[in-house]
C-alpha cells in the first residue's frame, strides 16, 4: 500500500524521484526502493515524505483514505462516536462513553435552555 500511494502522490504532485530523494536526504536509488517496495523508510523519512507531498503519514501507510492532512475535530459529539476511547490509557467501555455523551448533552441543553418567565 505504501509504495503504491507514494508513487501515485509523487506523480500527482508532479515531483520526480530525484526531487523526493533530495528533499528527504536519501539517494535516488534508495527512494526508488521505497516506491518499488524493496526498501522500507524510517518513520522520520515517512514523516518528511508526507510533509513534502502535503499528505499524512497515515494516508501513505494506508490507515486513512484522506489524501489531505486532516485536522483533529474539536466536536465532542464526533469524538464520542469512536469505539476505542481511553482516559490516560484506561479503555472506556461503551456504557461509559454513553454516560459521558448523555452528561454532555444535558450540560449543553441546560446551558441553552430559555429562562422561564417569572
32-49 residue pLDDT tens: 999 999 999 999 999 999
Give yes or no for residue 112 having a pLDDT over 70.
yes
Predicted structure pTM score: 0.59
Q: Phi and psi for 115 in degrees, rounded to 5?
A: -65, 140
H-assigned helices in 1-118: 2-12, 17-24, 28-36, 43-52, 57-60, 76-79, 94-111
- Which residues partner with 87 through β-bridges? 90
Residues carrying CATH 1.10.260.40, the chain? 2-60
Length of the chain counted residue by residue: 118
List the CATH code of the domain at 2-60. 1.10.260.40
Q: Which residue has the higher pLDDT, 65 or 102?
A: 102
pLDDT at residue 73 in the model: 67
In this predicted structure, which of 7-21, 33-47, 98-112 has the lowest mean pLDDT? 98-112
Q: Which residue has the higher pLDDT, 79 or 51?
A: 51
- 74-91 per-position pLDDT tens digit: 777 777 777 778 888 888
Give yes or no for residue 72 having a pLDDT over 70.
no
pLDDT at residue 101 in the model: 87
pLDDT at residue 118 in the model: 47
Amino acid at each position: 500500500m505504501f509504495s503504491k500511494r507514494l508513487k501515485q502522490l509523487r506523480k500527482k504532485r508532479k515531483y520526480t524521484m530525484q526531487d523526493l530523494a533530495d528533499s528527504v536526504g536519501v539517494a535516488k536509488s534508495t527512494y526508488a526502493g521505497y516506491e518499488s517496495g524493496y526498501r522500507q523508510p524510517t518513520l522520520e523519512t515517512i514523516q518528511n515524505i508526507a510533509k513534502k507531498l502535503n499528505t499524512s503519514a497515515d494516508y501513505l501507510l494506508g490507515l486513512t483514505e484522506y489524501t489531505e492532512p486532516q485536522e483533529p475535530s474539536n466536536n465532542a459529539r464526533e469524538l464520542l462516536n469512536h469505539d476505542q476511547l481511553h482516559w490516560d490509557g484506561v479503555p472506556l467501555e461503551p456504557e461509559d462513553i454513553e454516560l459521558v455523551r448523555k452528561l454532555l448533552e444535558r450540560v449543553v441543553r441546560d446551558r441553552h435552555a430559555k429562562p422561564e418567565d417569572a
